[in-house]
Amino acid sequence: MSPPELLSVHHMLMLSVLTGAADGYYYYRWTQCIYSSPDLSDMVFIEGLYFNRYPFVKFNSTVGKFVGFTEFGVRTAEMWNKDESILQQTRAQVDVFCRPNAELTEAAVYNKTVQPKVKLSSVMPGDNTHPALVMCSVYDFYPEAIKVSWMKDGALVTSDVTSTDERPNGDWLYQIHSELEYTPHAGQKISCVVEHASFSKPMIYDWDPPVPEFEFNIQLLFTIETAGLVLGIIIAATGFIYYKIKSAGL
């Protein structure tokens, strides 16, 4: 398994140092710290010595000693394995080098969270006989893992839902979009539920659908009629008062 593939499975700290080069020959040292457990209990320290891209000596903390891969590497490994001070110093790298750096990386990168921005919007309006389509867009969150679901009148919706995968924004943040198809009813409550590491509990966002055009027209007509009635009463009252004043000869 190549290092990039390994990195996608485990967190890995790497240090590669070029120590010498001449006439196209080079020798370098590559150290790795590999772990997958959050408490770093499965930490493994690996150190490899390479000549022209090929390893000749490696140390793995799970083995606890040096292993040679070439004739020169076997002699070198035997010599270092007989030196207790070298073995102890190398074995200690799990605690001296790996864990402190992994803790810093966890705190600075992996444990960081960014709360998502959530927006609900109408994709397709509907009425009592035609379905409507509403979208819940979740933007700019980190880490990638997230769960977006829907509720209808407080009950989890398990059908008529379409969602995208988490998509990278290109700035270390992510986005996801989910759509719900439903038939609007009076008094119906539609909600988008977002669960993410940046939240201490699932966040519920209620959908406030726009007023359908025919309902808007009815409301507008009622408002105009009401305003006309009030204006008529005011005009009538003003005329009556004027009439009383003229009748009294004032």
- Determine the residue type at 23: D
- Tens digit of each residue's pLDDT (9 = 90 or more) over 164-185: 999 998 888 999 999 999 988 8
AA identity, residue 78: E
Residue 15 token pair: 């240090």
HSE toward the beta carbon, residue 68, CA cutoff 13 A: 12
181 C-beta neighbours (distance < 10 Å), count: 16
Helices (H), 83-132: 84-91, 93, 99-105
CATH numeric code, 117-206: 2.60.40.10
**3-state secondary structure (DSSP) of residue 74:** helix
244's enclosing H/E stretch is helix 213-247
Please give the structure tokens belonging to residue 145: 């893992």
Confidence of residue 14 (pLDDT cuts 50, 70, 90): very low
Q: Do domains 3-110 and 117-206 have the same CATH topology?
A: no
User: How do residues 107-151 score in pLDDT, each as one tens digit?
Assistant: 877 778 999 999 999 988 877 677 889 999 999 999 999 999 999
Full-model pTM = 0.52
> Domain ranges in the chain?
3-110, 117-206, 218-250
Architecture of domain 3-110: Roll (3.10)
- Beta bridge partners, 45, equal 33
